[in-house]
Amino acid sequence: PPVSRVPQPARLAPEREFIKSLMAIGKRLATLPTKEQKTQRLISELSLLNHKLPARAWLPTAAFEHHHHVVRVPHSQTVVLNSKDKAPYLIYVEVLECDNFDTANVPARIPENRIRSTRSAENLPECGMGPEHRAGSFSTVPNYDNDDEAWSVDDIGELQVELPEMHTNSCDNISQFSVDSITSQESREPVFIAAGDIRRRLSEQLAHTPTAFRRDPEDPSAVALKEPWQEKVRRIREASPYGHLPSWRLLSVIVKCGDDLRQELLAFQVLKQLQWIWEQERVPLWIRPYKILVISADSGMIEPVLSAVSLHQIKKQSQLSLLQYLRQEHGPSNSESFLSAQRNFVRSCAGYSLVCYLLQVKDRHNGNILLDAEGHIIHIDFGFILSSSPRNLGFETSAFKLTTEFVDVMGGLDGDMFNYYKMLMLQGLIAARKHMDKVVQIVEIMQQG
């Protein structure tokens, strides 16, 4: 494939303005006293931001995986996250993928009231399509290939897209199915499954559908974070004027202002290295490093952990112990779903126990430990590592957080899963010791910097 050329400084202006706008919103939110006021202001600010989209802007935390242009921020879906003094917020960003975000044409804008006008991808120029491929019913879309490009199509006035009347047929639904799911007759092997097993698994799944959280004005993020990601994508796509396009994708990001994320970046790099070490040594530990983008000394962006809520939110919403909650979500202790979630819990708990021990992670509480839909625990907020602690009091003497509730999920101190946890801890520590130079090197580089 052709090598992507480096974007010119003038063409980066829309991206810079997009990021600056998100950061400015975060700083303004921090001045408001209540969570409700912050949420209302955030929705209003993002609604105004949408008037500058689509633009030659992209989400930096995902730009290197897929080139794309930002087309819309569904402002009503945003939430302000829990924080004592700051106002970090989570947004979802609608993008259209393209071959090269620098050279591809910026998509034309579709007004919000045109959402239901069509379900055909032929009515809007795709990201990266030239003028010769556009339908004749469109207004001419300006070509921003000069250095004077504004950061939004809107800067020269809103484009009115006239959508012709479309007649759909059953063939339109074929694209919903993946070609990979169609298996040839020659490659199929006979599989025999007992009907009783099928009935049992279906009844377990129906009886233990994951519960939804109730709305809480003091914690509006709980409902949004608990919703399964695929369900959220489907819901937002149906309401989006761009949702009918095949290149449409939904991304998410946490915008954080007032915090130095450089230590978070160090923790991410160490976690990625430990993850690689354990994979190489075939130790089945599980950790989930999330991407960090440091924008300034006191601001940045964080990749959200999807379909995961904090232990604090779980306890507040369900009023159950951790073991009872897992049974509620995954079924009885002898069910296949629960046993899978328990295994995931043990592997992730062992992984993060070692991370906390090796990095001396402090300030561990139920607000910065998450539980995902598959039973994994995920630690977030690595602001206090390597001997630093809140107010430098050093009152936390434990090497890592392992509560009675965690042990109960593993079946108690005499349970097989707790013995499995201890075995994983030993294997993971030996593997990390074998590759210690790779881990120490990262810390030394950051220390010198």
Same domain? For 241 and 288 the reply is: no
Name the domain count of the chain.
2
pLDDT in tens, 140-158: 333 444 444 445 544 433 3
Q: Specify the 3-state DSSP secondary structure of 2.
A: coil
Same domain? For 270 and 366 the reply is: yes
- Token readout for 20 is 């600056």
Mean pLDDT of 122-151: 40
Does residue 2 form part of some domain?
Answer: no
> Which of 31-40, 80-89, 196-205, 383-392 has the highest average model confidence (pLDDT)?
31-40
Instruction: Give the range of the structural domain holding residue 101, as residue numbers without chain letter.
Output: 9-163+213-253
Same domain? For 143 and 270 the reply is: no
* Longest pairwise C-alpha distance within the chain: 73
Stretch among 5-19, 60-74, 381-395 having the lowest mean pLDDT: 381-395
* Beta carbons of 312 and 366 less than 8 angstroms apart: yes
Same domain? For 276 and 156 the reply is: no
Residue 80's DSSP bridge partners are: 89
Does residue 184 form part of some domain?
Answer: no
Does residue 373 form part of some domain?
Answer: yes
Mean pLDDT of 37-60: 92
The pLDDT confidence band at residue 264, using thresholds 50, 70 and 90, is very high
* Beta carbons of 328 and 96 less than 8 angstroms apart: no
Does residue 105 form part of some domain?
Answer: yes
116 has pLDDT over 80: no
Same domain? For 226 and 80 the reply is: yes
Same domain? For 151 and 269 the reply is: no
pLDDT in tens, 60-110: 888 667 889 999 999 999 999 887 778 899 999 999 998 887 788 888 898
- Token readout for 99 is 């071959």
- pTM score of the predicted model: 0.75
pLDDT in tens, 324-368: 999 999 999 999 999 999 999 999 999 999 999 999 998 888 989
Same domain? For 384 and 283 the reply is: yes
Q: CA 418 from chain center: how many Å?
A: 30
Q: Between 324 and 168, where is the model more confident?
A: 324
pLDDT in tens, 198-213: 666 655 555 455 666 6
Q: What local confidence, expressed as pLDDT, does residue 217 receive?
A: 59
Stretch among 130-139, 152-161, 383-392 having the lowest mean pLDDT: 130-139
Same domain? For 223 and 358 the reply is: no
The chain-wide mean pLDDT, for the chain, equals 79
Mean pLDDT of 255-268: 91
Does residue 178 form part of some domain?
Answer: no
Does residue 171 form part of some domain?
Answer: no
Same domain? For 237 and 317 the reply is: no
Same domain? For 232 and 320 the reply is: no
Q: What local confidence, expressed as pLDDT, does residue 151 receive?
A: 54
Does residue 4 form part of some domain?
Answer: no
CA dist 251 → 73, 99, 233, 306 (Å): 10, 17, 9, 10
Same domain? For 265 and 246 the reply is: no
Q: What local confidence, expressed as pLDDT, does residue 204 receive?
A: 56
pLDDT in tens, 320-332: 999 999 999 999 9
Does residue 142 form part of some domain?
Answer: yes
Radius of gyration of the chain (CA): 25
Q: Which of 222, 253, 284 corresponds to the end of one domain?
A: 253
Same domain? For 55 and 112 the reply is: yes
